[in-house]
Amino acid sequence: MEPVPVELSVKRLAFAIVQFLAEQNSIGNLSEDAKEGLEVATQCLERAFGLTADQASALSVSQSLLDIFHNATKNELPLEIEPEVKKEPELKKEPVSEADKAEAERLKTEGNDLMKAGRFLDAINCYTMAIKLDRQNAVYFCNRAAAHSKAENYKAAVDDSKKAIEIDPKYAKAHGRMGQAYSSLKQYKESLEAYQKAVQLEPENESYRVNVKISEDNLKQSTPEMPQGPFGNLLSGAAPGGFDFGAILSNPNLVNMASEMMADPAMQSFMNNLVGGMSSSAGAPNEGGAGLDSLLRAGQQLAAQMQNANPDLVEQLRRQMGGGGGENDPSGGNRE
């Protein structure tokens, strides 16, 4: 029986793995033993899946295997866990050789090309290698911050932006990158401060000015406000016209009087009849007015009983509600 041919999708996956191994082998920070191991693994895969150089165009995919893996698994991490980013050693002002500077620039350019191709994790690797060669170049940290933002590693983007600013405090782009990362983290206060600093350094940059306005709007929308309107301030005690519900409801005399009234059998009978009458009116068509009249009469009777029980308290409540015949000035008389 002839062996079953390997499906095209499996063969493309094998080819992508071979490409990934080749990319890792070319980075240059592996030991000789590790490189030899990758070469052996590559040869085994090529033989096992029948991969040849002339099949490259037919088997290649649009993204690198590392990017595919990142996009497929980034949502599997708990929200509070950020992808691990190795901490860089403290910045030290050590002389950099011309050869290291040239190689760092080459790696930066390669990283920029990878960014254009959408290969953000590969770009991060290039910028990291450039930083290892020249740790005093703010551009490398700033570019890596941009790559981290594209890869949705926003906290790492903030850290790299801060390192770039530490090297060059007047680097407007680094402040802008930090503002963008903070905005993605929904830390709008910090985002606004970063963009404002970028505008100070580059007042003519329209993009920074627009982002300042966006950050201001985001900050306002994220700040909870007390509801406004006729009843907007009831919970805080103040109401339109100086009517303070909080003070009224916390009045011990009113609470005691209400308790005594509700303990009165006559008042209990009155309230039961009122509720029963309103229920029957609600069930009958075209009799909504009768229920309202009953409620108004009940209010009048209740007010009369309160007046008879404690006229001084009723007068105090009337003054608090603005009905005592005095000046009706919500501002309390304060004029400018």
CA atoms of 41 and 18, how far apart (whole Å): 8
pLDDT of residue 266: 67
Residues in the chain, how many? 336
pLDDT of residue 4: 41
pLDDT of residue 208: 93
3-state class of 24 per DSSP?
A: helix
Contact 138/95 with Cβ under 8 angstroms? Answer: no
CA atoms of 141 and 64, how far apart (whole Å): 23
pLDDT of residue 231: 43
How many other C-beta atoms are found inside a 10 Å radius of the C-beta of residue 3?
5
Helix-, strand-, coil-residue percentages of the chain, each rounded to 5: 70, 0, 30
pTM: 0.45
CA atoms of 41 and 215, how far apart (whole Å): 50
- For residue 234, give the DSSP letter: T
pLDDT of residue 21: 80
CA-based end-to-end distance of the chain: 101
Q: What does the pLDDT look like over 78-113, one tens digit per residue?
A: 444 444 545 555 555 678 889 999 999 999 999 999
pLDDT of residue 80: 44
pLDDT of residue 243: 46
pLDDT of residue 170: 95
Residue 313 C-beta-side C-alpha neighbours within 13 Å:
18
CA atoms of 316 and 327, how far apart (whole Å): 15
Secondary structure (H, E, C), 124-186: HHHHHHHHHHCCCCHHHHHHHHHHHHHCCCHHHHHHHHHHHHHHCCCCHHHHHHHHHHHHHCC
* Residue stretches of the chain with pLDDT short of 50: 1-4, 77-83, 85, 226, 229-243, 287-288, 323-336
pLDDT of residue 191: 95
pLDDT of residue 43: 83
Residue whose C-alpha is closest to residue 182's, from 174, 190, 170, 172: 190
CA atoms of 292 and 162, how far apart (whole Å): 67
Q: What does the pLDDT look like over 11-50, one tens digit per residue?
A: 788 777 877 787 777 766 677 778 788 788 888 887 887 8
